[in-house]
């Protein structure tokens, strides 16, 4: 179905140096401009971020420092890009939470007051998540072809969960191993130190905070340099297990033996 457009809409995607909207920079921007008459224009531009592209980011998008060293900076492209998308609505995938805020930051950084307030934003990921339910009932119907009777009763839900897992192994047998160790790793969002995920292991196996101003910073470093942070967490409404883990790390860092 063709889009019913009052204004042109620009679908765009950014490849960046990372996911910190305030600090990271664009290394590639691809735009697809769709006009009300159905005409389409597409262009992709590499950008010199004027900072090192971290290895972990390059491994995701395949763009390295050497690839963009002779490309224009965003400052050199900003006016042309702002003009190109002037009067257009914007669309993307997870764009409302990431691409649009980061693009706005880049414009402001180079002194262009790019007015976002008059535009409409279409985030295709949000539509996907709202239209395709992520409930156990939906999963049971999708994988098992059955309607979940007595949904939200413990017995029905546990049996349905078991059946869904078996059906997932059947459906994705070429990608999933029928091994609990593998399935545990595959289904983990992070390598949590505490159950709630306030403290996780980073890629080097170091315990780091996973929230707030200290997100990504080693727990031992925070406890050592920010006097009172431990007491604040212990007095705040964090889970008891999180506090237990925090205390264990604190004792370990002080050289005490922890059992």
CATH number at residue 29: 3.30.420.10
Are 223 and 112 in the same domain? no
pTM for this entry: 0.60
Domain boundary among 187, 211, 229: 187
- Predicted confidence band of residue 232 (pLDDT cuts 50, 70, 90): very high
Domain boundary among 128, 162, 178: 128
Half-sphere exposure of 91 (CA within 13 A, CB side): 14
Both tokens of residue 151?
Answer: 């949904």
Domain boundary among 128, 148, 165: 128
- Which residue range is the domain that position 241 belongs to? 199-253
Are 171 and 215 in the same domain? no
CA 78 remoteness from chain centre: 25
How many separate domains does the chain show? 3
Are 105 and 171 in the same domain? no
How far is residue 29's CA from residue 235's CA, in Å, rounded to a whole number? 45
Are 71 and 157 in the same domain? no
Nearest to 129 by CA among 158, 154, 96, 153: 96
- pLDDT, average across residues 182-187: 84
The pLDDT assigned to 191 comes to 85
Within a domain: residue 227? yes
Does the pLDDT value for residue 101 go beyond 90? no
pLDDT in tens, 15-28: 999 998 888 999 99
The pLDDT assigned to 159 comes to 86
């Amino acid at each position: 179905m063709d889009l019913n457009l009052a204004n042109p809409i620009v679908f765009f995607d950014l490849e960046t140096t990372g996911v910190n909207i305030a600090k990271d920079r664009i290394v590639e921007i691809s735009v697809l401009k769709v006009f009300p008459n159905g005409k389409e224009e597409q262009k992709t531009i590499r950008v010199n971020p004027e900072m090192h592209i971290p290895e972990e980011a390059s491994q995701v998008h395949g763009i390295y420092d050497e690839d963009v060293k002779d490309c224009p900076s965003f400052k050199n492209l900003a006016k042309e890009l702002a003009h190109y998308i002037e009067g257009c609505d914007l669309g993307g995938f997870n764009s409302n939470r990431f691409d649009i805020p980061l693009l706005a930051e880049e414009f402001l950084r180079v002194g262009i007051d790019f007015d976002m307030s008059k535009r409409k934003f279409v985030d295709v990921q949000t539509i996907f998540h709202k239209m395709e339910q992520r409930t156990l009932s939906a999963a049971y119907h999708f994988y098992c072809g059955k309607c979940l009777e007595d949904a939200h009763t413990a017995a029905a839900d546990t049996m349905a969960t078991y059946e869904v897992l078996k059906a997932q192994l059947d459906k994705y047998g070429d990608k999933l191993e029928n091994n609990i160790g593998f399935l545990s790793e595959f289904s983990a969002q992070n390598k949590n130190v505490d159950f709630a995920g306030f403290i996780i292991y980073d890629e080097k196996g170091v315990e780091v905070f996973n929230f707030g101003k200290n997100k990504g910073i080693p727990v031992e470093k925070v406890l050592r340099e920010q006097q009172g942070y431990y007491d604040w967490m212990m007095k705040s409404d964090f889970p008891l297990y999180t506090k237990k883990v925090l205390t264990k790390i604190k004792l370990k860092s002080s050289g005490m033996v922890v059992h």
